[in-house]
Structure formats: C-alpha cells, structure tokens
Amino acid sequence: MRILRTDRFSGWAMCLLLASVAGAQTRPGALIGPEDGHGAYATGIYKNLFIEDGHSKRDIEAKIDAAYQQLFHGDPQTQAIAFAAGSNANGPLMYVTDWNNHDVRTEGMSYGMMIAVQLGKKAEFDAIWNWAMTYMYVSDPKAPSYEYFAWSCKTDGTHNSEGAAPDGESYFAMALLFAGNRWPGGKGIYDYHAEAEKLLRAMVHRQVISAPGKYGMHTVGPMVNADPPMILFVPEVSPQPFTDPSYHLPAFYELWSRWGPEEDRDFWARAAEASRALFVKTANQETGLAPNYANFDGSPHPNRFPQSGEFGYDAWRTASNWSVDWSWWHKAAKEQEQSDRIQKFFVGQGIDSYGPVFTLDGKDLGATPGLTHEDHPAGLMGTNAVAGLAATDRTRAKLFTEALWNAPIPSGQYRYYDGMLYLMSLMHVSGEFRIWAPKQEMHKAR
C-alpha cells in the first residue's frame, strides 16, 4: 500500500522427467490437466533472462545473495531494511521497515516473508511472521479489522492505523502457503497452512464489523468484491468500492483455487480471470501504463490521494504482476502484448533515465518529493525488467534485463520500496521466484 504520505515419451513420463530433473517430490497419478495452462506451473521450467543474456549461474546467485545480505543484514543506518527485535514465547522477532517513513508496513513484511521463503531463509521468515502476528494482527473480535493486519505500525509495534491493506494480506497468504509446502509440520503460528487458510477465509467471508474510530464510525468487511470478483483497495465498506490494479495477483489466485479453502476455490479461479481482463481494460492501449487506483471497469479512480488516476508508485507493480502470471500459467496472451507495449514506452523515455510517475498517456510527472529522491528508481527498473518474462521483443527486453543487472542495490533513506522491488525482480528475472507446491503434486518442479 503506497498511500502518499508519505510457475517417443508419454505425457506422464515427460512430466516425471521434468519433475525429477528439477528435484520435485512427486506422487503417482498427479497428472497435469488442461486447466493448468502451459507455463511454469505445468512444466516446472522457469525462464532465466539473465542466463539468456549471457550471465553465469554463479554470478546471478552472487548478485541475488548480495542484495539479500545488504537489505536484510547490511549496515543498519544506510543499507538494511530488516531489523532483529528481540524475542518472545514464539521465538525471535524481526521487522521490515520503511526507513523513510519510520514505520513497518504489511506490504514490506509480507514481501520480506516471500523473499525469505523463496531463498530458503526460514529463521528470517519465522521472525518476520512472529512480529506481524505479535504486533500487526488484529485479534479483538469487536475491532473492525479483526483477523486482518494493521497496515502501518511504529517500529515498537504501536499501530499508526487500524486499517488493513489487501496487498499485504495477499502476500502473507501466498508466502504462508509456500512455507507450509516447503517447511511442513509447524505448530501454533508456524502451522503455515492453517494460518494461510484462516487469512484467506477472512479475506472472502469476514463479516462486516463497525466501531467508533478516530474519524467516526469505522466499518470493515471482506477484502474482495463478490461480483465482479476483485480485490479491493481497502476493506472499508464504501458505497462506491474500487480496486488497485497493482494488488491483482492472478498467478497467486490460480494457486489459491487449488490449495486454498475448498469453498472458495471457484471464487479464486474467477478472480484470476477477472484480473486478467482488468489488466487489459485499465492499462493505456498506447503506453501500457496502468493507474494507481481503478474502478472495476478499469477506468481510473479519482481517489483523494495524489496521482490516484496516474501511473505512480503503486502502479509500478502491475506489469510485473501480469508478466509473472504469463510466466507461471500462459493463459492470457494479451499479457504479452501489454509487456511489449510498456517496454516500448519506457525505451522511448530513455532506458537509463525515465522517471517514476506518468500520466496514463505518457506525460512525465517527475518524482514525488518525500516519497523518493530518485529520478530513475531501481524499483521501477526492476518491474520493467520482469515484464520481459512475457514480452515477445527479446532484443528490447534485453535492454531492461541489463539495466536491472547494472543497477546498484538501493541504499540510503529511500531504500525500502525500491529495495524490495529490486530484490524480488532479480528473483523473478532469474527464475528463482518459484511455485513451492505440496509434496503430493508433481508439477511446479524446483
């Protein structure tokens, strides 16, 4: 949430071979159906754009590790965004902070957990989750945000807001499911599958709860709209609810339609299709730029925050979301067109010099004071490189892959959002951001 405050042989034998080569644990009879698409989920093969461009596996691993070490264990004043915070009865605690705004956000905490499960950093994963459950989780059944997480807290755990942000809950749920598949057998808050299912149920079915708040009655319901089936910008009940295109994660929804609570699997399958359709409607047909906030029909939403209907900091993530969806599922060919479109636009702006904020038709609006000091931010460089997973123009896509490769690890005051997107983009572009599947499934090979 960036409010401006700122994946001659018979088919069975071939699947076994793919799974064996990639090291997946398999179960006889776990065949892939046509509804599973033709992407990495079905094949177990993840595109590595860095390898395609000539970089060695060793150098790629070193680059990812360097970024992780700096952001999670670097100099506390100039590099790190993750900080150990003592321990409690559940074990060590760690938070991820927006250094510039001096707060802890569900966005960053859930991104931190996703990075940790992907890279096999169980200690960090557990410590971040412990902090989130200790301080951010709303456990009072009378509180409007009950079963959700306060989207912003001080580093001592005090809530800055009692509201919740669905981008954080979405990444929490997906990271927990991956963790449950990678590290099964946990208890209590570390029973990852149980925690994920509880959160996913709340996102869809949470009853409406009202209570007096700082600005009057605070009324909160589900995090999703029922029809059309879309994630909401916020779960606060509103006469005119709207969405944030960068919150739409069809690659995740497909997995929830297989692994999530059984009663909601059809909902998440429909939500994946709705998100793919929204991407087409909301992104400008010339530039490929999507707005920060949108109505359910894809039109820009005139929210009260600055640049609501423009391509801004939230919207950087949208092209990455549709490109990962294409990489994992290969279900929506228009995602390729959209990646070609947005990469063409940014090449036209100067591959080494484009700014962070634009009107949807492509007017450069410059950086936003107080949110980023960068005129050419590493976070946007990263998400534009991830668009190469879907792009068909490989020569042009290479420009973005190399720009990301050459970008320094974000440091300094504004390192939080740029750093998170930079590191996850390195992982996506190198094929190291993967589907961690249940042991009984044979696709999603590692």
Q: Which residues are catalytic?
A: 107, 314
Which residues are CB-contacts of 166 (< 8 A; sequence separation ≥ 6)?
Answer: 203, 223, 224, 231, 232, 233, 234, 235, 244, 247
Written as one letter, the residue type at 228 is P
Phi, psi of 64 (to 5 degrees): -65, -45
Give the separation between CA 122 and CA 94, rounded to whole angstroms.
12
CB 166 within 8 A of CB 105: no
Q: Which helix (H) or strand (E) segment is 152 a member of?
A: strand 152-153
Q: Quick one: 56 exposed, middle or buried, by C-beta within 10 A (0-12, 13-18, 19+)?
A: exposed
Strands 103-105 and 152-153: antiparallel
CB burial of 88-125 (b: ≥16 within 10 Å; e: otherwise) equals eebebbbbbbbbbbebbbbbbbbbbbbbbbbbebeebb
CB atoms within 10 A of CB 363: 11
Q: Where are the alpha helices (DSSP H) in 82-183?
A: 106-119, 122-131, 166-182
E strand intervals along 13-122 = 82-88, 91-98, 103-105
Residue labelled with tokens 């989207």: 151
